Amino acid sequence: MRKESAAVRFLYGTKLGRVLLKVFTTPMISKVSAVFLSSRASRLFIPGFVKRNGINIERFVVPKGGYRSFNDFFTRKLKEKFRIDANSTLICPCDGLLTIKKINNDAIIEAKNSKYSIAELLVDNALATRYSDGMALIFRLTPSHYHRYCYCASGNIIRQRRINGILHCVRPIAVRSQKVYTQNSREYTVMKSHALGVIVQMEVGAMLVGKITNSKECHPKSIAIIGVEKGYFEYGGSTIIVLLEKQYHISRDICERKKINGEIPVTIGESLTGDISNA
């Protein structure tokens, strides 16, 4: 289990650190960081980052002449398209660490000792009532993960929404001390699936991730196709939350995996429930 860095422990575990958080979590700091991380000078950080995080660069497309910037490397693409089981109706939208949460009748979920109202998360009371007896799938991406993500299911896109906010990191120590998921900048897509009903797929930004880039091709009446790229995060750890109206049996293969600090390692494109339309 990877320990929290000294800097993260200072920011979230001390009084002075929490004072500085008010500055570091503002969108402006992320915007300034993004400018540097998109500059040619930032390429100097790539070799150390690859080594420190054990990234197998052979899996990814490397442009002729190398990556133009750190963010160019961070938003890298896979060489080969990941495979999706033809019977899958719900898949992992990203590489990451998964937490599975049942939502009780009060529409509250708990994550890392923090409680979140679905209404607070969505900023939409009417939509939140759909998930009062459903489930939340929380995928936390660390800096070492692949930061492109896809649609977790197929369906008609009903609407999309962006909620501006501040930008905490999403490491466990931050989630324990701050209501990160309802404070951070986030975007979500509401889609109607034949097999799953109305699904929410939400992207949550994090410290130094001021930019969530979703496809511009989507519009309120467009179609989401399972496995098709939805967008990507720029530098930092991030989170994707999927809300389902009902509670489904998640694949035994996934549930029985060795957990990392209570979270389940998953890979983009993996089937979560198989063909639940016949369940």
pLDDT tens across 248-274, in order? 999 999 999 999 888 999 999 999 985
- Residue 243 burial (CB count, 10 A): 26
Span 44-69, mean pLDDT?
93
Query: Is the CB of residue 157 less than 8 Å from the CB of residue 222?
Result: yes
- Residue (of 136, 155, 140) closest to 228 by Cα position: 155
pLDDT of residue 185: 77
- Match 């399972």 to its residue by tokens: 226
Distance CA 99, CA 232 (A): 20
Confidence of residue 169 (pLDDT cuts 50, 70, 90): very low
Give the DSSP per-residue string, 91-136.
B-SSSEEEEEEE--TT-EEEETTEEEEHHHHHT-HHHHGGGTTSEE
Active-site residue, from 30, 95, 154, 251: 95
Amino acid at 218: C
Look at residue 106 in the predicted model and tell me its pLDDT.
Answer: 66
- Out of 30, 185, 238, 271, pick the active-site residue: 238
Instruction: For residues 73 and 76, give the distance between their C-alpha atoms in angstroms, rounded to a whole number.
Output: 5
Binning pLDDT at 50, 70 and 90, where does residue 131 land?
very high
Tokens 């930061």 belong to residue? 147
Residue 124 above 70 pLDDT?
A: yes
Does the pLDDT of residue 19 top 50, yes or no?
no
Per-residue pLDDT at 206: 66
pTM: 0.80
Give the confidence band of 99 by pLDDT, cuts at 50, 70, 90: very high
Region of 214 on the Ramachandran plot (φ > 0 left; ψ -120 to 50 alpha; else beta): beta
150 in helix, strand or coil? strand
Inform me whether the pLDDT recorded for 210 exceeds 60: no
Q: Please choose, from the candidates 196, 208, 258, 255, the residue with its C-alpha nearest in 3D space to the C-alpha of residue 236.
A: 208
d(CA 112, CA 173): 8
pLDDT of residue 184: 67
What's 92's DSSP letter?
-
- Determine the pLDDT at residue 221: 60
Q: How far apart are CA 197 and CA 191, in angstroms?
A: 8
- Which residue shows structure tokens 């009060």? 106
Identify the CA nearest to 136 among candidates 123, 157, 151, 117: 117
Is residue 238 annotated as part of the catalytic site, yes or no? yes
Asked whether residue 20 carries a pLDDT value surpassing 60, the answer given is no
Q: Are 92 and 269 in contact (CB under 8 A)?
A: yes
Q: What is the pLDDT of residue 50?
A: 94
Whole-angstrom distance, CA of residue 201 vs CA of residue 78: 22
